[in-house]
């Protein structure tokens, strides 16, 4: 598809940024062209968000079957033959082609966006070539995405050394797996693989999830410890050993070399923008290989924009899509800029639960506001001695939260705090919320809107005036209403900080 007529904008890449930006431009009455080799929608439906959502759901079912096996009305469940490779086989055979069909049909047939399919090459800022055919445009938008960083160590070319891109193609289940990198992708992968009888170890050079609230990090550490997922921080990975195939990871810990036997390695140490196709244009390239842009997504070359991962962090689909829209608006003359005042939510899959955050951490809030009010359930110590299906007195701090999956987990394993963590942070002087944090199930959708409410200066009094649907996954409305009557906001008495996990 395509003609030699000039387009208003050529979107070089049909991932999240390119597809949404082109759609917005088309809706505005202009003529966009997407250049794409593989499929519209980028990595989402191949190996990222849609894929990981599915795998996390499958891992949740595996973990829940293990936990509930033989308890109450559940039969004994034989989990010896459960398989991650079988999980991803279903996605390869059904999910990938189904999403590909949906993205293509929606873009070309429903939205009437023109797509030049094939290998693209940028000739100049107004001209691209796709499989020998020339296309010209008034503007060029670079949206070529990113790729996983491969560390400069020996052994990365061994069989069973993976990145997130390889996850859908796993054909044989490993017995022991090392995840190199403790960011959101690495922690998520560890939580996804472990339920399938895979011994998982996470090696992180610095600190896992450094941008997350300490209580959330502690919860994850404690949950991983309970599930026998090992985490080592302050680790310098030196080498991946093996004879054709992975056998071990060698790392330095506290000045001493240690060897972690494994038959698979997941590398998860970050992303590198794919800026190389745009370098001949003379666009400015940053220190991390990103195309440097301003808040309007413009590069230093007039008429050339960059959006999505190629423009550097934050590497979120929401950012890519939104910057695609901002670029379209600017091409249409609407003079639109990225708004830093809107907090960006984040999310991690932790099957059978998930973690979500938006706004300030408690540490950041205390640094900015001094004293803050923390609304949190549960709090305090967990039971030292516990067994399934057993009530334990004097653990009133562990009774909440309860809704859906976490409700059942709390009743079956009372006192173990398998029911997650709900936390809101309030500036008591203005009565405004400054951060929300959650570990549980089903609450992440709310964080899309909590982000906007934070921007608008949402107060505890406004929250208490909402109509909640009870029971609800995040509890913020009812927990806020219980203390909103305090003229001088103090929060809940008799709460103590949860214990630290090491």
Average pLDDT (429-445) is 96
411 belongs to the catalytic site? no
CATH class of the structural domain 9-45+89-147+272-331:
alpha beta
Judged by average pLDDT, the poorest of 148-162, 418-432, 486-500 is 486-500
Q: Is the pLDDT of residue 497 over 70?
A: no
Annotated catalytic residue, options 30, 79, 100, 111:
100
Q: Is the pLDDT of residue 3 over 70?
A: no
Instruction: Give pTM, 2 decimals.
Output: 0.96
Contacts with 473 (C-beta within 8 Å, 6 or more apart), sequence order: 403, 404, 440, 441, 442, 443, 446
Average pLDDT (461-474) is 94
Q: Is the pLDDT of residue 283 over 90?
A: yes
100 belongs to the catalytic site? yes
The predicted pLDDT at position 495 comes to 77
Q: What is the mean pLDDT of the chain?
A: 95
The predicted pLDDT at position 4 comes to 53
Regarding predicted confidence, which is higher, 131 or 5?
A: 131
pLDDT in tens, 41-92: 999 999 999 999 999 999 999 999 999 999 999 999 999 999 999 999 999 9
Annotated catalytic residue, options 40, 271, 297, 421:
40
352-481: same fold as 9-45+89-147+272-331?
A: no
Answer yes or no: CATH 3.30.390.30 is held by domain 352-481: yes
Q: Is the pLDDT of residue 2 over 60?
A: no
The predicted pLDDT at position 381 comes to 83
Of 320, 343, 329, give the one whose Cα is nearest residue 296. Answer: 329
Q: In the block, which residue shows the tokens 């959650």?
A: 438
Annotated catalytic residue, options 49, 79, 342, 411:
49
The predicted pLDDT at position 494 comes to 75
DSSP assigned state of 48? S
Domain ranges, ordered by start, for the chain: 9-45+89-147+272-331, 161-268, 352-481
Rounded to 5 degrees, φ, ψ at 392 are: -120, 120
Average pLDDT (291-318) is 97
470 belongs to the catalytic site? yes
Burial classification of residue 344, based on how many CB atoms lie within 10 Å of its CB (0-12 exposed, 13-18 middle, 19 or more buried): middle
Annotated catalytic residue, options 44, 143, 360, 454:
44
Answer yes or no: CATH 3.20.20.20 is held by domain 161-268: no
């Amino acid at each position: 598809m395509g003609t030699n007529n000039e387009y208003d904008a050529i979107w070089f890449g049909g991932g999240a940024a390119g597809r949404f930006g082109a759609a917005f431009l088309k809706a505005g009455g202009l003529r966009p062209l997407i250049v794409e080799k593989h499929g519209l929608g980028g990595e989402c439906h191949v190996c990222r968000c849609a894929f990981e959502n599915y795998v996390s759901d499958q891992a949740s079912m595996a973990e829940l079957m293990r936990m509930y096996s033989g308890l109450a009305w559940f039969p004994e469940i034989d989990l010896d033959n459960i398989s991650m490779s079988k999980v991803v086989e279903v996605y390869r055979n059904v999910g990938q082609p189904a999403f590909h069909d949906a993205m293509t049909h929606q873009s070309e047939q429903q939205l009437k966006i023109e797509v030049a399919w094939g290998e693209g090459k940028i000739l100049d800022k107004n001209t691209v070539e796709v499989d020998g055919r020339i296309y010209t445009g008034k503007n060029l938008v670079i949206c070529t995405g990113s790729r996983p960083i491969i560390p400069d160590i020996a052994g990365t070319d061994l069989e069973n050394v993976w990145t997130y891109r390889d996850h859908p193609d796993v054909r044989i289940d490993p017995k022991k797996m090392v995840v190199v990198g403790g960011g959101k992708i690495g922690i998520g992968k560890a939580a996804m693989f472990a339920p399938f009888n895979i011994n998982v170890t996470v090696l992180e050079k610095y600190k896992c999830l450094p941008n997350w609230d300490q209580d959330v990090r502690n919860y994850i550490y404690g949950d991983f410890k309970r599930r026998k997922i090992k985490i080592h921080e302050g680790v310098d990975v030196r080498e991946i050993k093996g004879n054709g195939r992975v056998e071990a990871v060698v790392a330095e810990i506290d000045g001493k070399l240690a060897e972690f036997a494994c038959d698979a390695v997941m590398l998860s140490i970050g992303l590198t923008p794919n800026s190389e196709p745009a370098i001949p244009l003379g666009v400015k390239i940053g220190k991390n290989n990103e195309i440097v842009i301003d808040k309007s997504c413009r590069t230093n070359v007039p008429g050339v924009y960059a959006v999505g991962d190629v423009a550097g962090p934050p590497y979120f689909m929401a950012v890519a899509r939104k910057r695609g829209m901002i670029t379209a608006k600017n091409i249409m003359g609407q003079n639109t800029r990225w708004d830093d005042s809107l907090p960006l939510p984040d999310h991690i899959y932790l099957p059978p639960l998930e973690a979500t955050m938006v706004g300030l951490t408690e540490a950041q809030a205390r640094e900015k506001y001094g004293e803050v009010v923390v609304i949190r359930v549960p709090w305090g110590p967990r039971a030292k001695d516990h067994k399934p299906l057993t009530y334990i007195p004097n653990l009133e701090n562990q009774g909440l939260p309860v809704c859906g999956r976490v409700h059942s987990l709390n009743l079956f394993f009372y006192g173990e705090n398998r029911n997650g963590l709900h936390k809101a942070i309030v500036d008591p002087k203005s009565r405004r919320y400054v951060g929300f944090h959650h570990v549980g199930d089903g609450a992440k959708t709310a964080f899309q809107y909590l982000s906007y409410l934070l921007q608008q200066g949402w107060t505890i009094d406004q929250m208490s005036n909402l109509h909640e649907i009870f029971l609800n996954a995040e509890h913020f409305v009812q927990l806020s209403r219980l203390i909103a009557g305090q003229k001088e906001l103090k929060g809940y008495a008799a709460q103590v900080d949860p214990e630290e996990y090491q």
